[in-house]
Structure 1
């Protein structure tokens, strides 16, 4: 398990309220889902994306619309 990076308090609270305690947990959610959580802003998304990439992880793939 990889620890979450340092984030602003609102983003950290948003993640933990959704059960995201480790960086690996983000693979259960799409980037769009995380962006829509109250408290997660563009800076937090940027930091999370960089950390995911650094550790060869990724957000969940978007489901194709039908």
Structure 2
């Protein structure tokens, strides 16, 4: 049985636990869902910073996606 800290998600582990928790708390669980968010919206999340943003930007680009403009 999973507790709240073990919710399945698609985010790269390299973004770090605080960033993962911030995304999950904001309701994001899949990379595709991030295309509805702007970079600034994500940076406003507590625990989410520029390093995580850069990693996710690259990950999205590799799959032909990007953040909302």
In the superposition, the TM-score normalised over structure 2's length comes to 0.80
Indicate whether 1:3 and 2:13 are aligned: no
| Bigger fraction of residues in helix | 2
In the superposition, the TM-score normalised over structure 1's length comes to 0.83
Over the aligned positions, Cα root-mean-square deviation in angstroms equals: 1.4
The size of the alignment, in residue pairs, is 60
Consecutive unaligned residues in structure 2, runs of 5 or more: 1-8
Consecutive unaligned residues in structure 1, runs of 5 or more: 62-66
Shift of the alpha carbon at 1:59?
0.6
